[in-house]
């Protein structure tokens, strides 16, 4: 279709799940009053030196391992020098020369085909503070606020090789990265809260060539969907520039979610950060035994769990992939399965109703009120015939919103299904009496006429009759 191939490399920043910051004891809790979680170290006051938080190293190594990286046994920190109000020291402590993790990969699934995306490196660094522009964006503001609560929070930056070739592949890579880090307990990986941020480096080149084209770096995407859309837009834009005989300018561009376009933010022709070793902190030396201990604490990862759902519970691979894409969903599934041992039915309700409602309301599973036990109880009511599948969906929605017990909802809403044969028998007799033509049709061999009669019984009971029972009773009566 196009004569150009897109080339994308992602830089993902992930906040590590520690109680305290990278080099000081300040809390990392999200959402507190601005500038209440600060101290001389993370404010960069002269004369203050921090001490490395050991937990950060542990989580970074864990992250490296679940990204299939090699782990550096002798690494250190460097200073990346630049001036900006969110960086009070005038330099960012990062790992420029020796990242703690390197040469990794993630396997993604594109239309049922496996594809490996190599990871160049994953290194530890400190987060700068957060600028809040009074007018929403820097261009429309007279002044800005700085919140240093974020200053000094521990991050890992995960850099991929330029081996991603579409927005879709970028989305799949991010989903896999997020799931692996979430399962490992390394980070909350919440894009909305900023604990996962992604910049996309995008270039295009003529199909069949291997040299890299000039790239732009896209920022400001606040969902995986936005990353995908931004890449797709930017690829098209660059192709148009080249087709017009112009050249792509190396620059940083911002994604405008409302307009669905990228806009030039600043030119960036190889900034010089004047990096040098941070001599105030000692190097990090790790023994193979310590790394092995960390490895031992890694739980079952998404791919293994997906395989287990297929092999042990007979789920289709597609279902297993959806359910294991988030730890919360996978745990929900396992818990429900303990109470109601029919994997496929549970999967249908998770993939159907649960995900439908979560997406429609843009919610996380943790915010929904329905519990795995609740779902299991609901499925039992349906199985017993107390309510129909259709009523079940109605009850499910109430459980989702209010978390009540399904039996109670059925009672309150007067939903319960009529399976009582005595009660149904009277209604069926009336329907038979009122519809002699359909009865005659049925008796003369048009067996589908029973469908109409079942419909009439359903109508008479306002949908509360158990259609299976009605069908069987009708056939029995008509056969006499
Ligand atoms: P920078 O110094 O600008 O940060 P790096 O070489 O460190 O650039 O690469 C940063 C990210 O950009 C990596 O993910 C890399 O794969 C990607 N990248 C580098 N060159 C290109 C290119 N020409 N097109 C697309 N992505 C690229
Ligand atoms: Mg970069
Ligand atoms: Zn501090």
Parse the chain into domains and list their residue ranges.
4-292, 302-413, 421-478
Q: How far is the CA of 42 from the centre of ligand 3 (A)?
A: 4
Model pTM?
0.84
Report the percent of the chain where pLDDT is more than 90.
79
Q: Are 432 and 460 in contact (CB under 8 A)?
A: no
pLDDT beyond 70 at 431: yes
Task: Determine the average pLDDT of the residues in 40-50.
Answer: 94
pLDDT value for 223:
93
Ligand 1 closest atom vs CA 11: 14
What are 81's strand-pairing partners?
91
Both tokens assigned to 47: 């004369």
Tokens of 254: 């911002």
SS (H, E, C) 90-118: CEEEECCCCCCEEEEEEEEEECCEEEEEE
pLDDT, tens only, 158-184: 999 999 999 999 999 999 999 999 999
* Ligand 1 touching residue 178 (CB < 6 A): no
Q: 3-class DSSP state for residue 210?
A: coil
The predicted structure's pLDDT at residue 444: 87
Q: Residue 359 pLDDT more than 60?
A: yes
Rounded to whole angstroms, the Cα distance separating 473 from 479 reads 10
Cβ–ligand 1 contact at 7 (below 6 Å): yes
Q: Tell whether the model's pLDDT for residue 422 goes beyond 90.
A: no
Q: Measure the CA angle with vertex 460, ends 458 and 465; round to 5°.
A: 40
**Ligand lying closest to the C-alpha of residue 25:** 3
- The pLDDT of 140-150, averaged and rounded, is 95
| pLDDT at 1 (0 to 100) | 54
The whole-number pLDDT of residue 170 equals 98
Distance CA 466, CA 416 (A): 9
Which of 61, 95, 94 has its CA nearest to residue 75?
95
Q: Alpha-carbon dihedral of residues 343, 346, 351, 353, nearest 10 degrees? A: 170
Average pLDDT of the residues in 46-71: 96
CA of 214 to the centre of ligand 1 (A): 10
State which ligand 1 atom lies nearest to the alpha carbon of 214: 23
Residue 415 banded pLDDT, cuts 50, 70, 90: confident
Question: What's the average model confidence in pLDDT over 236-255?
Answer: 96
Residue with tokens 């409302």: 258
Per-residue pLDDT averaged across 272-289, rounded? 94
Instruction: Give mean pLDDT, residues 78-84.
Output: 95
Q: Greater confidence, 44 or 386? A: 44
Q: Which residue is closest in CA terms to ligand 1's atom 1?
A: 270
Give, in degrees to the nearest 5, the angle at Cα 159 between 156 and 165: 145
124 — pLDDT class (breaks 50, 70, 90): very high
- Kind and range of the H or E run holding 335: helix 327-339
Q: Is the CB of 94 under 6 A from ligand 1?
A: no
- What's the CA-to-centroid distance between 249 and ligand 2, angstroms? 15
Does 198 sit in the ligand 1 pocket, CB within 6 Å?
no
Q: Is 212 in the pocket of ligand 1 (CB under 6 A)?
A: yes
The candidate with the shortest Cα–Cα distance to 50, out of 280, 267, 347, is 280
**Is residue 361 over pLDDT 90?**
yes
What pLDDT score does 282 carry?
A: 93
Strand partners, 20: 27
- Three-state SS for 266-300 is EECCCCCCCCEECCCCCCEECCHHHHHHHHHCCCC
- CB 160 less than 6 A from any atom of ligand 1: yes
Confidence of residue 411 (pLDDT cuts 50, 70, 90): confident
**Beta strand 113-126 pairing with 154-160:** antiparallel
* pLDDT for the residue 265: 86
Task: Kindly state the average pLDDT of the residues 339-363.
Answer: 95
Q: Is the CB of 215 under 6 A from ligand 1?
A: yes
Q: How confident is the model at residue 468 (pLDDT cuts 50, 70, 90)?
A: confident
**Residue closest to 332 by CA, chosen among 275, 370, 359:** 370
Q: How many residues are given for the chain? A: 480
Q: Is 238 in the pocket of ligand 1 (CB under 6 A)?
A: no
Lowest mean pLDDT, pick from 211-220, 321-330, 363-372, 381-390: 381-390
CA 180 to chain centroid, in Å, comes to: 11
Beta bridge partners of 276: 79
Per-chain mean pLDDT for the chain: 93
Please say whether the beta carbons of 152 and 129 come within 8 A: no
User: Ligand 1 atom 14: the closest Cα is on which residue?
Assistant: 9
Burial 333-353 (b: 16+ CB within 10 A, else e): bbebbebbeebebbbebbbeb
Atom of ligand 1 nearest to the CA of 201: 26
Residue of 103, 162, 239, 249 best suited for mutating to test ligand 1, as the one with most atoms within 8 Å of CB: 162
Per CATH, the number for 421-478 is: 1.10.10.410
Query: Which ligand lies nearest to the CA atom of residue 154 in the structure?
Result: 3
Tell me the ligand closest to 127's alpha carbon.
Answer: 3
pLDDT at 269: 60
How far apart CA 131 and CA 145 sit, in angstroms, is 6
- Reported as a single tens digit per residue, the pLDDT across 435-449 is 999 899 988 888 888
| Ligand 3 centroid distance, CA of 416 (Å) | 59
What's the pLDDT at 463?
A: 78
- Is the CB–ligand 1 distance for residue 216 below 6 Å? no
- Probe residue for ligand 1, chosen from 215, 217, 234, 248 as the CB with the greatest number of ligand atoms within 8 Å: 215
Q: Would the pLDDT of 27 be above 70?
A: yes
Which ligand 1 atom is nearest residue 203's CA?
Answer: 24
pLDDT at 270: 65
Which residues make beta-bridge pairs with 159?
11, 121
* Distance separating alpha carbons of residues 311 and 284, to the nearest angstrom: 42
Q: Ligand 1 pocket check: which of 12, 165, 200, 201 to mutate, most ligand atoms within 8 Å of Cβ?
A: 201
Name the nearest CA neighbour of 251 among 205, 221, 214. Answer: 214
Cα torsion 208, 210, 211, 214: sign: positive
For the CA of 10, the closest atom of ligand 1 is 14
Q: Quote the CA–CA distance of 55 and 106 in Å, as a whole number.
A: 24
Q: Which of 20-34, 299-313, 428-442 shows the lowest mean pLDDT across its residues?
A: 428-442
Residue 68 near residue 188 (C-beta atoms within 8 A): no
Closest-approaching ligand to the CA atom of 149: 3
CA pair distance 151, 88, nearest whole angstrom = 9
Q: What is the pLDDT of residue 260?
A: 96
Q: Confirm or reject: Cβ of 146 under 6 Å from ligand 1.
A: no
Q: What is the pLDDT of residues 185-234, one digit of tens each?
A: 999 998 888 899 999 999 999 999 999 999 999 999 999 999 999 999 99
């Amino acid at each position: 279709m196009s004569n150009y191939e897109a080339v994308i490399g992602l830089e993902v920043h992930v906040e590590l799940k520690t109680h305290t910051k990278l080099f000081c004891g300040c809390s990392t809790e999200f959402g507190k009053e601005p500038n209440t979680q600060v101290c001389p170290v993370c404010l960069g006051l002269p004369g203050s030196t921090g001490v490395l938080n050991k937990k950060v190293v542990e989580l970074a190594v864990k992250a490296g391992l679940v990204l299939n990286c090699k782990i550096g046994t002798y690494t250190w920190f460097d200073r990346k020098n630049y001036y900006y109000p969110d960086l009070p020291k005038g330099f960012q402590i990062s790992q420029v020369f020796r990242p703690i993790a390197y040469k990794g990969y993630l396997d993604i699934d594109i239309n049922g085909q496996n594809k490996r995306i190599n990871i160049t490196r994953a290194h530890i660094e400190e987060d700068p503070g957060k600028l809040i522009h009074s007018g929403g964006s820097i261009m429309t503001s007279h002044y800005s606020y700085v919140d240093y609560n974020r200053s000094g929070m521990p991050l890992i930056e995960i850099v991929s090789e330029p081996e991603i070739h579409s927005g879709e592949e970028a989305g799949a890579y991010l989903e896999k990265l997020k799931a692996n880090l979430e399962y490992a307990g390394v980070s909350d990986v919440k894009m909305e809260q900023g604990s996962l941020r992604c910049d996309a480096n995008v270039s295009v080149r003529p199909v069949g060539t291997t040299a890299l084209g000039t790239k732009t770096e896209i920022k400001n995407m606040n969902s995986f969907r936005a990353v995908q859309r931004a890449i797709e837009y930017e690829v098209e834009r660059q192709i148009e520039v080249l087709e017009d005989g112009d050249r792509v300018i190396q620059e940083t561009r911002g994604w405008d979610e409302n307009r669905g376009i990228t806009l030039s933010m600043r030119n960036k022709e190889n900034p010089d950060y004047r990096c040098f070793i941070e001599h105030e902190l000692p190097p990090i030396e790790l023994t193979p035994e310590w790394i092995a201990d960390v490895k031992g604490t890694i739980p079952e990862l998404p791919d293994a769990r997906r395989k287990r759902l297929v092999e042990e519970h007979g789920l289709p691979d597609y279902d297993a992939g959806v359910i294991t894409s988030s730890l919360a969903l996978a745990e929900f599934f396992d818990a429900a399965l303990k109470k109601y041992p029919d994997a496929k039915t549970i999967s249908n309700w998770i993939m159907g109703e649960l995900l439908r409602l979560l997406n429609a309301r843009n919610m996380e599973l943790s915010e929904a009120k329905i519990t795995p036990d609740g779902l299991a109880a609901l499925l039992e009511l349906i199985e017993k015939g107390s309510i129909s599948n259709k009523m079940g969906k109605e009850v499910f929605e109430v459980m989702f919103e209010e978390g009540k017990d399904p039996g109670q909802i059925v009672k309150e809403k007067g939903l319960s299904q009529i399976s009582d044969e005595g009660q149904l028998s009277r209604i069926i007799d009336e329907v038979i009496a009122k519809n002699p033509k359909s009865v005659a049709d049925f008796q003369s061999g048009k067996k589908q006429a029973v469908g109409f009669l079942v419909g009439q019984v359903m109508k008479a009971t306002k949908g509360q009759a158990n259609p299976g029972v009605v069908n069987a009773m009708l056939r029995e009566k008509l056969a006499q």
